[in-house]
């Protein structure tokens, strides 16, 4: 190894490295391509980027480092100092800079390891820490194992004493074998194991330093790690909804809830915020004020319309013109049910929308805050534009919004259009096809009884709607109501029960969902949005004597609103106008 003040001359700063990428031969392992790093390719490469050593911080094992290493592409904790490039200002772990092309690791002394650099394809996990590898990596072609430079260079690893995880000393188990980890309940052989010689305890190296108390997006209380769950109950994971084995470690609710989550599910990047909460004071969401202040006699002051008072009206069916009046939160028309109406202006809220909590926890690793938002936003679940209320990340994650209907989906959903309940399913590494619209999504609602899946776009459709030429309410259905084909009363084309449709139980007529609602059900006239090229678009009513022709699809605009760009061209939907110049 080189001294602190003299980094190896063979190391090329990653900026120069990328420019000289053609010098490095490539190697394909499975579906992944790597660059083979050797001193031969470094020779003759002009390198004006010089490295100097800088002191790092004394982070503990498992904590996030203060600097991002551009060699292994991680915030992992290394030694007490980094190297810093004088030209591009990148930081590099000492271990990454000093990594020789061929290395014998104490973790794997039997065979030498070849230094590679990730290029493209599926990322593999480090044998030691279990993290995906984005940059430099050591590989054994004989054992087919991968290690990042920090893990490969560790010397003190054969024994670990962590009394908070296990009371006895743990010993490194050098062979790859399908053994079930007592902490995460998986037999993943891609990660190394440690075993206790005094009792029957096996644990992955990456599981030893897992947190003890956490907060996840799918539950309102904190979760603590437990080595086993109480017997006698059937436990199902609150994230993946799969059955859990009580004999292995998991995270369970610290309150009285019968709620538990697989260890691996609880520590997913988009479920857990990455913070250990043990010995940290608990800030309960219950201390957040309610969304409105009751002033007596059915009068409230809502925090999103605090300058005026609002009055409660019970069962407003037929009271308002649904084509003119909309709920300001969900933007759906005021057909029926309870409503709060402003006593001084045209501001309305459904009773359920007025009671929306100011703080929500769903899917995202941070808590979500109810906001009025900008003039419009795009919902992360259903990919629809909305100009109503939304939930956004309380920690400032860029452009993370959910509309109020998608945010109101609970872990177990009783959808009135389907005979069986659904569970909200987060599929992290693959996608499921919606049984209705056939879109493939990572977040969906799965029927408990049969093979039926709804994406959030279909699941959030309103169950009841009104059609101006039918005196009855229309309801959403996915069931066949006749032996023969059914026809949409608006476009006169056949309706498909699998895709869902609106039907009148009295008149026995059917309508396509898009014919009744349009393509942009959460946008209303008078608002604006912008194209991908930054051009402003007006949303105007489609109330001309003749329907305009869409500048995009060249068909008549049949929905209640249309979109007008800066050139005066008319588009029938946000999908058509968003790419216009």
- Provide block-wise average pLDDT over 10 residues at a time, the chain (581 residues): 44 54 77 77 52 61 67 74 76 83 80 86 79 85 84 76 87 79 85 86 87 85 90 83 89 88 84 82 66 88 91 77 78 87 91 89 82 82 91 84 88 78 69 85 79 87 86 85 79 86 87 89 88 88 87 88 90 86 72
Residue 3, pLDDT score: 40
Residue 160, pLDDT score: 82
User: Which of the 8 DSSP states describes residue 37?
Assistant: P
Residue limits of CATH 3.30.60 in the chain: 213-267, 292-355, 461-517
Smallest CA-to-CA distance from 35 within 136, 105, 133 is with 136
The correct CATH number of 213-267 out of 3.30.1330, 3.30.60, 1.10.10, 3.10.450 is: 3.30.60
Residue 483, pLDDT score: 67
Angle at 217 between CA 215 and CA 219, to 5 degrees: 75
The CATH code of domain 461-517 reads: 3.30.60
Smallest CA-to-CA distance from 186 within 128, 249, 133 is with 249
User: Which of the 8 DSSP states describes residue 4?
Assistant: T
Helix/strand/coil for 19: helix
Spell out the residues 6+ positions from residue 376 whose beta carbon is closer than 8 angstroms to its own: 385, 386, 387, 523, 527, 528, 529
* 292-355 CATH fold: Wheat Germ Agglutinin (Isolectin 2); domain 1 (3.30.60)
Its pTM surpasses 0.85: no
Angle at 166 between CA 163 and CA 167, to 5 degrees: 60
Helix/strand/coil for 77: coil
pLDDT digits (tens, 9 = 90+) for 361-379: 877 778 888 998 667 898 9
């Amino acid at each position: 190894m080189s001294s602190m003040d003299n980094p190896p001359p063979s190391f090329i700063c990653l900026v120069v490295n990328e420019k000289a990428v053609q010098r490095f031969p490539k190697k394909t392992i499975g579906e992944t391509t790597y660059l083979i790093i050797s001193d031969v390719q470094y020779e003759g490469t002009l390198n004006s980027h010089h490295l100097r050593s800088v002191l790092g911080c004394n982070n503990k094992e498992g904590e996030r480092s203060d600097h991002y290493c551009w060699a292994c592409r991680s915030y992992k904790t290394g030694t007490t100092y980094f190297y810093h490039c004088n030209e591009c200002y990148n930081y590099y772990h000492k271990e990454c800079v000093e990594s020789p092309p061929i290395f014998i690791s104490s973790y794997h002394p039997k065979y030498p390891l070849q230094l590679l650099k990730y290029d493209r394809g599926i990322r593999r996990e480090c044998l030691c820490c279990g993290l995906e590898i984005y940059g430099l990596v050591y590989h054994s072609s004989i054992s087919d194992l991968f290690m990042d430079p920090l893990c490969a260079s560790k010397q003190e690893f054969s024994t670990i004493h962590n009394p908070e995880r296990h009371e006895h000393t743990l010993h490194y188990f050098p062979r790859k074998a399908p053994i079930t980890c007592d902490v995460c309940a998986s037999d993943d052989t891609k990660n190394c194991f440690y075993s206790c010689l005094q009792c029957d305890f096996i644990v992955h190296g990456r599981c030893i330093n897992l947190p003890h108390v956490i907060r996840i997006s799918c539950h309102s209380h904190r979760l603590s790690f437990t080595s086993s769950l109480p017997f006698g109950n059937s436990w199902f994971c609150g994230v993946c909804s799969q059955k859990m084995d009580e004999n292995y470690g998991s995270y369970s609710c610290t309150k009285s809830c019968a709620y538990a989550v697989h260890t691996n599910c609880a520590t997913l990047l988009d479920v857990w915020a990455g913070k250990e909460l043990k010995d940290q004071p608990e800030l309960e969401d219950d201390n957040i004020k309610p969304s409105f202040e009751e002033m007596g006699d059915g009068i409230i002051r809502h925090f999103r319309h605090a300058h005026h008072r609002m009055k409660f009206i019970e069962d407003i069916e037929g009271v308002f013109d649904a084509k003119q009046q909309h709920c300001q939160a969900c933007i759906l028309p005021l057909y029926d049910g309870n409503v709060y109406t402003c006593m001084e202006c045209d501001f309305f809220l459904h009773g359920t929308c007025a009671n929306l909590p100011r703080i929500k926890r769903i899917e995202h690793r941070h808590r979500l805050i109810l906001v009025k938002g900008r003039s419009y936003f795009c919902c992360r679940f259903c990919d629809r534009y909305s100009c109503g209320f939304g939930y956004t990340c309380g920690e400032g994650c860029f452009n993370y919004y959910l509309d109020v209907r998608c945010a109101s989906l609970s872990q177990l959903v009783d959808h009135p259009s389907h005979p069986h309940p659904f569970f909200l399913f987060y599929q992290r590494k693959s996608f499921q096809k919606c049984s209705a619209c056939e879109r493939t999504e990572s977040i969906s609602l799965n029927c408990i009884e049969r093979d039926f899946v709804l994406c959030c776009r279909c699941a959030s459709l309103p169950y009841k709607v009104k059609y101006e030429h039918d005196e009855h309410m229309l309801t959403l259905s996915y069931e066949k109501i006749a032996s023969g084909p059914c026809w949409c009363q608006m476009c006169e084309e056949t309706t498909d029960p699998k895709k869902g449709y609106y039907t009148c139980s009295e008149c026995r007529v059917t309508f396509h969902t898009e014919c009744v609602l349009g393509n942009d059900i959460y946008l209303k006239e008078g608002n604006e949005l912008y194209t991908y090229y930054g051009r402003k678009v007006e949303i105007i009513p489609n109330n001309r004597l003749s329907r305009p022709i869409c500048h995009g699809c060249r068909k008549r605009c049949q929905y209640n609103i249309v979109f007008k760009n800066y050139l005066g061209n008319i588009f029938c939907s946000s999908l058509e106008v968003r790419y216009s110049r």
